[in-house]
A and B are shown apart, each in its own frame.
Chain A
Amino acid sequence: MSEPTPSPENLEPGEDDEAMRQIASGESDAMESIFKRWKLPLLSFFYRATGSHADAEDLTLKTLDRLYRSASRYQNQGRFGPWLFAIARRELSHEWRRLKRKPVRCAPPELLADSLIDHSDGEIRRAMETEEQLLVALRLCSDREREALLLAASDRLDSAGIASALGVKERHLHVILHRARKTLKEAFDSLFS
């Protein structure tokens, strides 16, 4: 297992801009700091969006590769997060048609934060089942609703950043999130009834 990522509150937004400047000037090693800061938010976003941890790993690496290759075009100083997640959304939409047909496959419980109360078999199974229901319920949301929910859950972007990554007005985002939460709750509840 790798080192846990730094918590969001310890992030310096300027560090990403500086790293992008270095990458654009040919220093590929600067990608390491971006990787450390953003790998888990990206993995979580893709995992919950696709229902597959393996696909989430593929898409995270593809997104980072796309980011590296487009560093010279980066002009969003101070808005790195929305820019990164806009790339992530494009990668996801490329894969979505293929992924929709695949069943959900939960990540190993130890990869998820606080997902286990203890390590008894019953608790592990219960956590996996709940996680599976969540992944299925997420699939019942529309693409935009799902992405809005996942970006909001990551705690890495503020409302303006999420709206920017989704390509919508901030006012519209609140409407999308309201509907998304309602849809998710109804879908989640219906799976247990």
Chain B
Amino acid sequence: MKDSPHTPDTSHSAPESLLKKQLVHTTPSFEARWTDLKRDWRREAAPDARRPFWTAWSWRLGLPATLVLALVFSRGLFLTEPGPVHTQLIEEVRMADLTEWDVALDQALPLLDPDLLDTLTLLLAQADPTR
């Protein structure tokens, strides 16, 4: 850059003095955008641009009602305990899976030793006497 014939002469152009050179004009497009912005403000401030009365009331009543309903439904969804059939199904699936894995791993390390298998079967039978 130093060797360029168009390199600016820095000896007389300290950066601070360059900073003092402020913009002195705006562009027509900027002025047009300013006019648009003012128009938007006027439109917002105009009385007929304000929301009708009923919309304010519908917000005031509708929002709390929606929140209450959402709360009731979310409690229903998250706080309801699963039924006994649901629990039993899950237990059965888990036990079946364990047994299956145990068989599959027969030649490898035993997943369930005989004592543990007996204990688990006994516990399940006690939890559900119909088994």
A interface vs B, CB < 8 Å? Answer: 1-2, 4-5, 26, 28-29, 31-32, 35, 39-41, 43-44, 47-48, 53, 57, 60-61, 64-65, 68, 107, 110-115, 122, 125-127, 129-131, 133-134, 137, 149-150, 153-155, 181, 184-185, 188-189, 191-193
Contact = CB atoms under 8 A, between A and B. Distances in A.
Contacts of A53: 27
A129 B8 contact: yes
B126 interface: no
Interface residues of B, number: 31
B20 A192 contact: no
Contact of B27 (A111, A113, A114, A154): A111
Given A2-B31, A57-B29, 12 more contacts: A28-B38, A39-B34, A65-B37, A112-B22, A112-B24, A126-B6, A129-B6, A130-B13, A133-B8, A155-B20, A188-B15, A193-B2
Interface string B57-72: 0000000000000000
Nearest to B44: A28
A4 B25 contact: yes
A83 to B, nearest CB: 19
14 contacts: A1-B26, A26-B45, A31-B41, A40-B22, A57-B29, A64-B37, A110-B25, A112-B22, A113-B22, A113-B24, A131-B18, A134-B18, A149-B19, A189-B10
B23 A130 contact: no
A192 B2 contact: yes
A185 B16 CA distance: 8
A110 B45 CA distance: 37
A188 B10 contact: yes
B1 interface: yes
A28 B23 contact: no
Contacts of B33: 57, 61
Contacts of A181: 16
Contacts, number: 110
Contacts of B26: 1-2, 39-40, 43, 57, 111
Given A35-B34, A189-B10, A113 B21 contact: yes
Interface of B: 1-2, 6-8, 10, 13-16, 18-31, 33-34, 37-38, 41-42, 45
Contact of B15 (A35, A43, A184): A184
A47 B18 CA distance: 13
Given A28-B45, A65-B37, A130-B8, A44 B15 contact: no
A61 B34 contact: yes
A28 B49 CA distance: 15
A149 to B, nearest CB: 6
Nearest to A192: B10
Contacts of A4: 24-25
Contacts of A61: 30, 33-34, 37
